[in-house]
């Protein structure tokens, strides 16, 4: 089925990060709908790059859904609407993307694709930063899953073990009398 915008069939990137070109088009929808103050071109460019940096780790469909929710006034973070009179900040947009990704994860489960990196390839600082952000996001996700599976934090587990050990000692003392 051809896409009406460019005559090419739509492509699915699965859970791949958003490319800068795709993110720029999607974020451009926001910039087109919210008036900007009289800023210099340099400031506008830096601002735009801030948005690109904030969302580069998210899938294109997650970013598109976040932008659509903002434009339709349905964007919620922690149960509160983002003020529809103002363009959200880069961290707000990233948080909204994270909320959408988490909701999708709860509905569909994980979709993790792993490819082994080539050790001969030298990574750029931007790629190292992007990968570090992915690791942080995965750590948060794993932490959330672990918390859901293991209801006792380590300190509680240690207290419970100490209580159980004391109870066993008392039981041994009671049995030996």
Give per-residue pLDDT as tens, 54-93: 998 899 999 999 999 999 998 988 888 888 888 899 999 9
Nearest to 31 by CA among 110, 90, 73: 90
Q: Which comes out higher in pLDDT, residue 116 or 5?
A: 116
Domain ranges of the chain: 1-113, 121-177
**Separation between Cα atoms, residue 135 and residue 143, nearest integer Å:** 12
In this predicted structure, the answer to whether residue 140 has a pLDDT above a threshold of 70 is no
**Separation between Cα atoms, residue 44 and residue 31, nearest integer Å:** 10
How large is the average pLDDT for residues 144-149?
47
Nearest to 97 by CA among 39, 68, 55, 40: 55
The model's pLDDT over 28-47, given as tens digits with 9 standing for 90+, comes to: 888 888 877 777 888 888 88
pTM for this structure?
0.53
Q: How confident is the model at residue 166 (pLDDT cuts 50, 70, 90)?
A: confident
Are 15 and 137 in contact by the 8 Å Cβ rule? The answer is no
Q: How confident is the model at residue 49 (pLDDT cuts 50, 70, 90)?
A: confident
Nearest to 141 by CA among 80, 52, 57, 53: 57
Strand partners, 81: 76
């Amino acid at each position: 089925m051809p896409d009406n915008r460019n005559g090419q069939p739509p492509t699915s990137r699965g859970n791949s990060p958003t490319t800068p070109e795709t993110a720029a088009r999607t974020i451009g929808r926001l910039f087109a709908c919210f008036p900007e103050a009289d800023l210099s071109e340099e400031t506008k460019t830096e601002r735009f790059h801030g948005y690109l940096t904030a969302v580069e780790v998210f899938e294109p469909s997650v970013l598109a859904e976040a932008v659509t929710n903002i434009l339709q006034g349905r964007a919620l973070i922690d149960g509160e609407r983002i003020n529809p009179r103002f363009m959200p900040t880069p961290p707000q947009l990233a948080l909204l993307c994270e909320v959408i990704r988490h909701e999708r994860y709860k509905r569909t489960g994980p979709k993790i694709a792993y490819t082994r990196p080539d050790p001969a390839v030298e990574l750029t600082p931007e790629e190292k930063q992007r990968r570090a952000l992915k690791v942080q996001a995965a750590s948060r996700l794993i932490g959330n899953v672990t918390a859901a599976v293991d209801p006792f934090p380590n300190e509680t587990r240690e207290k419970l073990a100490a209580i159980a050990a004391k109870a066993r000692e008392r039981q041994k003392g009671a049995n030996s009398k």
